[in-house]
Structure 1
Amino acid sequence: MFALLMKWMKSNKILPSISDTEREALEAGTVWIDGDFFRGKADFARLIAEPYSKLSDEEQAFLDGPVEELLARTNRFEIGRTRKVSDELMQFIKDQGFMSFLIPREYGGKQFSTLAISTIMAKIGPVSATVGTLVVIPNSLGAAELIIHYGTQAQKDHYLPRLARGEYLPCFGLTEPTAGSDAASIKAEGLLFRDADGATKIRLNFRKRYITLAPIANLCTIACRLRDPENLLGRNAQNTDGDLGITCVMVHKGTPGFTSGDHHDPIGDPFYNGPLYGKDVVVPLDNIIGGPEYAGQGWKMLMQQLAGGRAVSLPAGAVGGTKVVAAATGAYSAVRQQFGLPIGRMEGVEEKVGRIAGLSYMLEGARVFGCSAVDNGQKPPVISAVLKAYTTEISQQLVIDGMDVFAGAAVMQGPNNILGMGYKSAPVAVTVEGANILTRTLMIFGQGATRCHPYALSVVEGVEKNDVGLFRSKLLGWIGHFILGLLRAEGHYLTRGLFVSVPDVAPETRSFYRRLGWATARFGVMTDLAMFAIGGRLKKRGKLTGRYADVLAWLTLASSALRRYEAEGRRKEDLPLVQYAAEHALWKIQEAFVGIYRNFDGPLGWWTKTIGVFEAHINPLGGAPTDAQSARAARCIQTDNAQFQRLAAGIYLPKDETLGLGRLLRAFRIVSQAQPAADRIIQAQKARKLPRGYLPAEIADEAVKAAVIDGEDAKRLKLALEARIDAIQVDEFTPEQYFAEVNDDGGLEYRKAVNG
């Protein structure tokens, strides 16, 4: 019977087919907390026990020393005008070891933790993406990382010390005009041949684009499809063209036939990015990373490193950006006044500030939690993809919220604009390392449902291998698992998660654990139903699988916020932030489930579209955060106090208090110090002890005479008013500064701008 069932399932494509490249992706990395979500049974005791790490003293010293100095030397506006990093700044980056974070100490590197690398990137990126890429690229997927894990000893001895010193400036050539997110379809070709001197070499032909640091790199790793038609490596390739598979080959700048140096012009912060071209480029066989034995292993190498790597650089930049948005928007909403009061007290503004505060708290928790897992030996490809896609997506939305709060001050460009460049640069992070739209609709659930499910991959393997015994045992196990999951989900629905196992956590957060456990049980059941009812067609149902990805993502992000709250000692002042974050996540999970129910296929579709939707609405997992929750979250970042300083830790706070963020934070500090006096005057105005219709600073002297405040309070109020007015000014340019001139080569030259 099972043999017939197996044959029927295979012929009707009930289960997803797995290509060789998909299998290598599935086999890469590890299953982490995502495994609990896919089996439909949250293990919160395990989650709370997972590491939530801190920086070492050495790493913190580097952050407080060289990183601070680098950013103090960085003029984002001037780099934007010139599109260049000065030779002096570039040399500082090299001399201080900014390109060596991944490299072991024995080769001259820093050998920092993943968390430290992420934290450094999170601090640098929001100040200047131009400078940030000079740190990100050498310390992410590329020559150093691949050589560390797969390189020959000779490659390690030669390249790693030079990469650590910045003598080799690397880039990684993967993307092509016809191969972006579908990187496995690359057309770049490497052909093995016997040269006149009798040595086996590689002739490369390629056309790469969107390659960061390509215009200035002198060591380029090219991902190509390697062919060995003469069987020079003795692999006895089965196909006639001797295709060995994707291979990573190093090409040095100056190699005949290799062309680099041209630039693309990225939106937002300019950074070094451009094409790479190769026409009959001949390199030694030893230029394969790992040597000849790693010929054809490039895709596996890339998938193994990206399994954890996606959780690092792009999430770091995104989360660092949201923390800057939170600090700046919280400060601006307190400093800027309209209608006689800080705009942050107006409910429309408060709603956006609250969202920024709550979600930035959650994203920072996810960043630290994810990096801690990688440092603990995990390489979770599904969670890494979630962190990459959703941190960059949410960050883009939060900077838009911040722009709305800053209003006119956000759209006037110049050295004093705090958010504008981050707003313009946000789409870059959304598109790289796999465009978010495809990561969400193809990768996260497609890979997770097969890899992280306790039975799915084994059942698929049984069908593919025609192993009836394996198929029977795993299918029966799956059916039993589904029945138990269905009962669990229904029980949690009826009791609103009352019997979800919750460990010793803050009493104020226990309800969130229960509802997340309930949501997890439902996710497990709906995953089984999707694989049973839709099966192999799931690959084509991107809208549906995207909603499944949304559930998984918000489960992960909410869990991270809760983990942060526990790890940081259950600070009562942070409770509004974790409450907002968890409530928002449950609301998004609820919306995603309703979307799944409305769009489910087949006979089950009738039930999900009617009874399922009805039950979801009458007993929802959650709704949008309340106005009161939003207000409490907003207040967490609207006063310059110990909590604000702690939440802003890890971002660069400029020492120059005459410009941009530094100027705003100075005003914020002064306004916060004066606020108690202002509140007393406002209360006196309401009691008709002082005239209405005036700002507190405007009637400070009268308030002193009325004994509402004292003389020192009056001075603080007047200083605060001056600081407010100064902090909201935007840049002005004379015509000579503003207009560009066309030079003899047809390019544009800008005169140096001054502050307004």
Structure 2
Amino acid sequence: MSVVVPFLALLLASAVAAYHRMRLATWVVISAVALLACWFLGADRTATVVAGALLALVAVPLLLPFVRKPLLTAPALGFLRKALPPLSQTERIALETGSVGFEGELFSGDPDWNTLLSYPKPELTAEEQAFLDGPVEELCRMTNEWEINHVHADLPPELWEFIKKNRFFGMIIPKEYGGLGFSALAHHKVIQKLSSVSSVVSSTVGVPNSLGPGELLMHYGTQQQKDYYLPRLAVGQEVPCFGLTGPFAGSDATSIPDYGIVCKGEWNGQEVLGVKLTFDKRYITLAPVATLIGLAFRMYDPDGLIGDKRDIGITLALLPRDTEGVDVGRRHFPLNSPFQNGPVRGQDVFLPLDQLIGGVEKAGLGWNMLNECLAVGRSITLPSTASGGAKFAAVVGGAYARIRKQFGLSVGRFEGVEEALARIGGKAYAISALSQATAAAVDRGDVPSVPSAIAKYHCTTMGREVASDFMDIVGGKGIILGPRNLGGRAWQASPIAITVEGANIMTRSLLIFGQGSILCHPYIMKEMKAAQDPDGKAGLEALDDALYSHIGGAISNAVRSFWFGLTGSKIGAAPGDANTRRYFRRLDRYAANLSLLTDVSLGALGGKLKFKESLSGRLGDVLSHLYMMSAVLKRHHDLGAPESDRQLLAWAFHNSAHQIELALSQALRNFPIKPLGWLLWPVVFPLGRRAVPPGDRLSHRVAASLMAPNEARDRLAQGVFLTPCENNMGGRIDSYLAKAIAAEPVERKFLKALKASDIEALDFASQLDEGVREGWITADERRQLEELRALTLDTITVDDFDTHELRAASYYDLPQHKRQPREAA
């Protein structure tokens, strides 16, 4: 037995050093002390010497730079230069335009949670809060979704005027240009509230404040362009849109066939140097009403009029709607949601060079510009829209499930409905935290390319799932359209958010992990740059700095993965309180798992990894849920860790933990190199998969919290339009909840007495009369039950129409030969 002791001592010392990420020299000292102890405590001397020799064999080359660099680093550099595939221009730009925030900590495998918790708590200014309480509240009150969708197929003129007058289109434009100069957090809050009442209104407001001429001009425009266009955009004098997507360039935006040829032409009566544009764009939001069109195209200079380069690259321009040759105005009809969206076309449209965004100096840099602005816009508009819809569904769905009764019982008391309500509540809680976290990252000055992809994919995907569960709960109230409808339009519109700004399938399988594993990993980007450095000596030095830290980190992550899996993440330092500390430990484990699998996948597959989309998607899921739960815990602590939120926090966390372990197990079981997957399984899951979805008791508590007034429900409802008014069916239902609960004891007493009696009255009013005469209820209780019947009827009533009211009259007024839409590309 004493023969084994030195090797066990060396292994233990190495594991402790790896777990705590000690420096190489510290590991050597600890290991040497452990072997000396074995020597003096009677372990087998030969075994101790052999263990010491092994230690020296590893440590000496690594500790001595003059040995390490020629013997180890130089061959590694040569291997990397041959193994690493060259980055395409698209990939290089995507990696260079993003910045790294807390997601980089997650890829390290040992996140510094104090960094996360030390970020400033996101808070609105007094001016921003006043805007939410004033113009945004008023716009919500004015919004009649039925009239927008079915009567006008557009916002009515008074809404357009109100939006422009109150500078909704200028939220992100600085005050010196006439805009509101709001933070990203305020932008998020505005879109969240508007989306809780109408997705058409929220998208109309959101797009000019997202990817579009305004944001691009702020970052890249010439001073002359800013001075002219930004004040006009701020007050709605110009309505912007941006044309990127075309029939042959959807998610692969860099392949756009639209082109512009540098040439001379006439503009405002003078001959100037410009570009002659030919383009065909589709799916362009606000295009039918836009007066200023942002356009992405590939620019060519065959005659060398502005330089030596023929193919200048993707370039962005500002195109006034009234420019000769521009064809715009017709509309797409996206899933019965009539937000302004349509094609933009042009053939040989001449535009002077001073209409290029940023001028000639920015020609060819369009993809860089778009990547930066896409990341910011994607961080806010779509996640905020999902947040508003999900929070509305949680609060109104809970109220509806309590008020609506079947078989003498609130439908929310049935376990099947409880499950759906719990999913809505838990996902709304997570979506709300994730969407706020990405907005806060923008306010910190980040360009959160990876978090924005995470937020876009998971908020919109969970938003669609919430819409589905909400429709199941409200039943006929959801499927029958009309002014009293709940959720039908949101359900119809949910796939739109899934599709736009990068299809969700592509975002999950290619972008989140594909970009994150390089951009956010602490060493990969450094190693790639070292391998591609033309200066051999500088590349060698750079690789020497990164490579051995990378190897040490990988060993540490393997040790940490095994230790946390073996102990159930119950041992280890972690921040938080008695409730959340366990969650931080679990995330420590999953971060180590992610970093370990990232290193193994990149090391084993190299450039082939980007073609393994299923593996990339699963590892992306791990990263996404890690980031999402980080956002959830951050917000929970920002709010003072309220005890009443614990059930929502627990549901969201256990759901994510289950998804993480499911993704890890699928990645290992389907690993492209099977033996590696088998070897990694006992390291990642030494005791097997342990995480399970939220249980029935937890789901019951979450559902119950949505069906009764309480602090947790009120916090979840913050930022949602719930003012009870004629145009807000959901707000009215929410306002009925307290009255319905107060009437429940009287209702039970009355129904019990009615069931035991032999009265012959059949209608409700006569039964109440009998109840008062028989002394079952008092006159005040009768009025309470009448009120309950009235509010219940308003809650469950649906609309009906004459046939002619449902017809599109303008369509049937057309001659038969004009009733077909133009054939689309």
Assess same fold via TM > 0.5.
yes
**Which range is displaced more, 196-205 or 349-358?**
196-205
- Equivalent position of 1:569 in the other structure: 640
In structure 2, the CA distance between the partners of 1:6 and 1:669, relative to structure 1 (3 Å rule), is: same
- Equivalent position of 1:629 in the other structure: 698
**Which range is displaced more, 256-265 or 656-665?**
656-665
SS at match of 2:293: strand
In structure 2, the CA distance between the partners of 1:45 and 1:5, relative to structure 1 (3 Å rule), is: closer
- Equivalent position of 2:281 in the other structure: 208
- Equivalent position of 1:219 in the other structure: 292
Asked if the contact 1:653/1:661 (under 8 Å) is kept, the reply is yes
CA deviation string 1:566-618 (max 9, x = no partner): 111222211111111111111111111111111112254451586468x36x4
Asked if the contact 1:351/1:634 (under 8 Å) is kept, the reply is yes
In structure 2, the CA distance between the partners of 1:577 and 1:328, relative to structure 1 (3 Å rule), is: same
SS at match of 2:274: strand
CA deviation string 1:153-184 (max 9, x = no partner): 11111001111111111000000111111111
- Equivalent position of 1:345 in the other structure: 413
CA deviation string 1:371-430 (max 9, x = no partner): 112112122210111001110000000110011111222111111111000000000001
Letter in 2 for 1:525: L
- Equivalent position of 1:421 in the other structure: 489
CA deviation string 1:728-750 (max 9, x = no partner): 111111233344551134589xx
Query: Structure 1 CA distance, aligned partners of 2:683 and 2:350?
Result: 62
**Which range is displaced more, 172-181 or 19-28?**
19-28
**2:447 is the counterpart of 1:389:** no
- Equivalent position of 1:85 in the other structure: 155
Query: Structure 1 CA distance, aligned partners of 2:628 and 2:157?
Result: 41
**2:344 is the counterpart of 1:276:** yes
- Equivalent position of 1:754 in the other structure: none
CA deviation string 1:439-496 (max 9, x = no partner): 0000010000011011111111222225333334322221122112211222222222
Mapping of 1:279-290 within 5 angstroms? 279-290=347-358
Query: Structure 1 CA distance, aligned partners of 2:668 and 2:674?
Result: 12
Q: Show structure 2 runs of 5+ residues with no match.
A: 1-70, 820-825
Asked if the contact 1:170/1:220 (under 8 Å) is kept, the reply is yes
1:362 CA drift (Å) = 1.6
SS at match of 2:316: strand
Matched length: 736
In structure 2, the CA distance between the partners of 1:51 and 1:306, relative to structure 1 (3 Å rule), is: farther
Q: TM-score, normalised by structure 1?
A: 0.92
Which of residues 538, 546, 553 is equivalent to 1:474? 546
In structure 2, the CA distance between the partners of 1:62 and 1:295, relative to structure 1 (3 Å rule), is: same
Query: Structure 2 CA distance, aligned partners of 1:609 and 1:502?
Result: 26
Mapping of 1:119-158 within 5 angstroms? 119-158=189-228
Which of residues 507, 516, 526 is equivalent to 2:578? 507
CA deviation string 1:621-657 (max 9, x = no partner): 5210010100111111101455433321211124325
- Equivalent position of 2:794 in the other structure: 726
Give the root-mean-square deviation of aligned CA atoms. Answer: 2.8
Asked if the contact 1:51/1:373 (under 8 Å) is kept, the reply is no
- Equivalent position of 1:550 in the other structure: 621
Mapping of 1:441-590 within 5 angstroms? 441-466=509-534, 467-503=539-575, 505-590=576-661
- Equivalent position of 2:389 in the other structure: 321
CA deviation string 1:107-137 (max 9, x = no partner): 1110011011111111112322222222112
In structure 2, the CA distance between the partners of 1:740 and 1:156, relative to structure 1 (3 Å rule), is: closer
**Which range is displaced more, 552-561 or 342-351?**
552-561
Query: Structure 2 CA distance, aligned partners of 1:78 and 1:658?
Result: 10
In structure 2, the CA distance between the partners of 1:42 and 1:499, relative to structure 1 (3 Å rule), is: farther
**2:735 is the counterpart of 1:638:** no
Query: Structure 1 CA distance, aligned partners of 2:272 and 2:447?
Result: 38
Asked if the contact 2:561/2:589 (under 8 Å) is kept, the reply is yes
**Which range is displaced more, 471-480 or 180-189?**
471-480
Asked if the contact 1:125/1:317 (under 8 Å) is kept, the reply is yes
Query: Structure 1 CA distance, aligned partners of 2:766 and 2:577?
Result: 46
Greater radius of gyration (CA): 2
Query: Structure 2 CA distance, aligned partners of 1:43 and 1:680?
Result: 57
**Which range is displaced more, 126-135 or 620-629?**
126-135
Query: Structure 2 CA distance, aligned partners of 1:521 and 1:610?
Result: 14
Query: Structure 1 CA distance, aligned partners of 2:561 and 2:749?
Result: 54
**2:167 is the counterpart of 1:94:** no
- Equivalent position of 1:29 in the other structure: 98
Query: Structure 2 CA distance, aligned partners of 1:661 and 1:745?
Result: 41
- Equivalent position of 2:264 in the other structure: 194
Query: Structure 2 CA distance, aligned partners of 1:646 and 1:470?
Result: 49
Letter in 1 for 2:553: H
Letter in 2 for 1:526: L
Asked if the contact 1:51/1:369 (under 8 Å) is kept, the reply is no
Which of residues 306, 313, 327 is equivalent to 1:233? 306
Letter in 1 for 2:354: D
Which of residues 722, 744, 755 is equivalent to 2:814? 744
Query: Structure 1 CA distance, aligned partners of 2:464 and 2:319?
Result: 36
**2:474 is the counterpart of 1:403:** no
SS at match of 1:215: helix
- Equivalent position of 1:649 in the other structure: 718
SS at match of 1:282: strand
In structure 2, the CA distance between the partners of 1:609 and 1:456, relative to structure 1 (3 Å rule), is: closer
1:714 CA drift (Å) = 4.9
Query: Structure 2 CA distance, aligned partners of 1:159 and 1:77?
Result: 34
Asked if the contact 2:644/2:711 (under 8 Å) is kept, the reply is no
**Which range is displaced more, 318-327 or 706-715?**
706-715
SS at match of 1:200: strand
Letter in 1 for 2:87: I
SS at match of 1:267: helix
1:3 CA drift (Å) = 4.2
CA deviation string 1:502-533 (max 9, x = no partner): 12x23122211111111111111111111111
1:698 CA drift (Å) = 11
Asked if the contact 1:415/1:731 (under 8 Å) is kept, the reply is yes
Query: Structure 1 CA distance, aligned partners of 2:648 and 2:331?
Result: 43
Letter in 2 for 1:555: L
- Equivalent position of 1:752 in the other structure: none
1:139 CA drift (Å) = 0.8
Letter in 1 for 2:291: N
Query: Structure 1 CA distance, aligned partners of 2:776 and 2:533?
Result: 85
Asked if the contact 1:574/1:636 (under 8 Å) is kept, the reply is no
Q: Higher helix fraction: Structure 1 or Structure 2?
A: 2
Q: TM-score, normalised by structure 2?
A: 0.84
Query: Structure 2 CA distance, aligned partners of 1:321 and 1:744?
Result: 37
- Equivalent position of 2:180 in the other structure: 110
1:726 CA drift (Å) = 3.1
Query: Structure 2 CA distance, aligned partners of 1:701 and 1:43?
Result: 68
SS at match of 1:636: helix
**Which range is displaced more, 164-173 or 190-199?**
190-199
1:209 CA drift (Å) = 0.7
**Which range is displaced more, 618-627 or 104-113?**
618-627
Asked if the contact 2:392/2:720 (under 8 Å) is kept, the reply is yes
Query: Structure 2 CA distance, aligned partners of 1:709 and 1:361?
Result: 41
Asked if the contact 2:77/2:531 (under 8 Å) is kept, the reply is yes
Asked if the contact 2:669/2:677 (under 8 Å) is kept, the reply is no
Asked if the contact 2:295/2:319 (under 8 Å) is kept, the reply is yes
Letter in 1 for 2:445: G
1:55 CA drift (Å) = 1.6
In structure 2, the CA distance between the partners of 1:671 and 1:286, relative to structure 1 (3 Å rule), is: same
Mapping of 1:234-383 within 5 angstroms? 234=307, 236-237=308-309, 242-383=310-451
Identity percentage of aligned residues: 38
Letter in 2 for 1:228: D
In structure 2, the CA distance between the partners of 1:629 and 1:698, relative to structure 1 (3 Å rule), is: farther
Letter in 2 for 1:627: D
- Equivalent position of 1:751 in the other structure: none
